[in-house]
Structure formats: structure tokens, C-alpha cells
Amino acid sequence: MNLIIDVGNTFVKLAVFKTDRLVFKTSVELVNTVDKIKQLKKDFPKLKQAIVSSVGKLQKQQIALVQDVLDVVVLTHKTKIPFKNKYATPKTLGIDRIALVSASVYHYPKNNVLIVDAGTCITYDFITDTNEYLGGAISPGIRMRYKSLHNLTANLPLLDTEVPKHNIGTSTNDAIHSGVVNGVINEIDGFIKSYRENFLDLTVILTGGDANFLSEQLKSSIFANSNFLLEGLNYILKFNSN
């Protein structure tokens, strides 16, 4: 069994896989990570190995404590991956994006795949049917857009995310909702349309924290999978265990 440790800035996602099947998933605060992992080792005695994806602040001492109970792979740009990385600056490619592309290789081998990860930022990652990762794009996520309008202007309010009632906002609040949410929807649909004009038989995956909110509004045909990153990390761990 495999343990996936996906570290954010405040919370850590922990997932247990039995081969390829997700059997457990939770989130804990960063300070409680090691204690929770030790508890999971007791709950799942067949846990043998783990992978750490750390875009946050899991310290070396904490990783060392995990290594006391499990064989650990720490994902970096040097880790063996199941695709050809054609990114011009591979050292700067986010490890979350590496995990997402790895998941696409596992689920959709020999396919042109566009992965849209709608979280704090919206990332677009493209891999060809010849298993070459070419790159993609990064833009502000939904909450970042709301916060930017509030923080970088004098009078615009900070609003909660909401599906706009109309394209034409007849009040300031409605105009903000229309601009942010419709802007994101049109951006994603536009990217998908552009990729489909250049690559045949394109598979599109939508994941990330805002995936469910967006999936019902997108015009394009997509597959929504909230566990895609975790599945990619599990595949990388298996790939490095062979």
C-alpha cells in the first residue's frame, strides 16, 4: 500500500492507495502531519512506501520522521517521471503539474491530453500522444481574481464566489461576478477550442478545488476528476518502485 503526502501552505492532503485504488483520504494541519502519518501506519499496517509532494513547508526534520516508518520518495525535478519533459525550464516546472501530467499518462496513454487545474491559479498542461510534455499556461484562479479586484482598487467589494445571474451585470456586485466567473469560463473554453484546432482527439481533464463549480458551466466536453493529482503522485511512486 502507498501513502501520498501532498503538502500545501497550511494543510496537508494524505491519501492511501491499495495498488491503484484510493481507499482513504483526509486533510490535516501542517503541524499535525507526522502524528497523523504514524496513526495511518497503525490503521494500515501494510503501508510500506510514501511519496511527498511539498509545495509548502514540510521541514526536513518532519520528512526524516516519516522516513523512520516508511520508504519515502520526495518528488523533485530530478525524480524519474513517466513522460518526456520538453519544458524549456524543467527546474521551474511545479511538482503539482508534474503529478497531473503523470496521471494523464496513466489514465490516457497515447492520447493528446490537456489538463486544466482550477485552484489558486489555473494551470493548463499539455502532453502529446507521443508522450511528450510541451508546457501550457498559468493564469489567476477564481478567488485570486475576486481578491485582486478588491485589493487593487479603492471601492470594489470582496465577494464570495457566485454563479452570475446574467452576462450583463446591472449592479457592481453582479458586474464583478459576471467579469470573474464568465471570464474564467470563456478563458477555459477558449483554451480548449484552440488546442482542439491544433490537436486531434483531444482529451480534456478538469481538476482542482474549483473543478466541480466550473464543470457544470463549461461548454466543452471534459472529464472532471478531483483526485487526479493524488492519482498522479501514486503513479510516480509506483514508477520509481520498479
**Mean pLDDT, the chain cut into blocks of 10 residues (242 residues total):** 88 93 93 90 94 78 86 92 96 94 96 96 97 97 97 96 94 97 96 95 94 89 91 96 78
Is 146 flagged in the annotation as binding?
A: no
CA distance 32 to 62: 10
Q: Is there a domain that residue 240 lies in?
A: no
On whether both 124 and 49 belong to a single domain, the answer is: no
Q: Identify whether residues 70 and 91 lie together within a single domain.
A: no
95 is in an annotated binding site: yes
What CATH number corresponds to the domain at position 64?
Answer: 3.30.420.40
Last residue of a domain, one of 50, 74, 98: 74
Specify if 238 maps to a domain: no
* pTM (2 d.p.): 0.91
Q: Is 94 annotated as a binding residue?
A: yes
Q: Is 63 left (phi over 0), alpha (psi -120 to 50) or beta?
A: alpha
Output the pLDDT for position 100: 97
Q: In what order do the strands lie in the sheet with 2-7?
A: 21-29, 11-18, 2-7, 49-54, 71-74
Residue 194 lies in a domain: yes
Nearest 5°: phi and psi at 200? -75, 155
Is 88 among the domain residues? yes
Q: Of 14, 48, 74, which residue sits at a domain end?
A: 74
Q: Which domain holds residue 219?
A: 84-233
**Is there a binding annotation on residue 163?**
no
Domain boundary among 28, 50, 74: 74
The identity of residue 5, as a single letter, is I
| Residues involved in catalysis | 96
Q: Are residues 140 and 67 in the same domain?
A: no
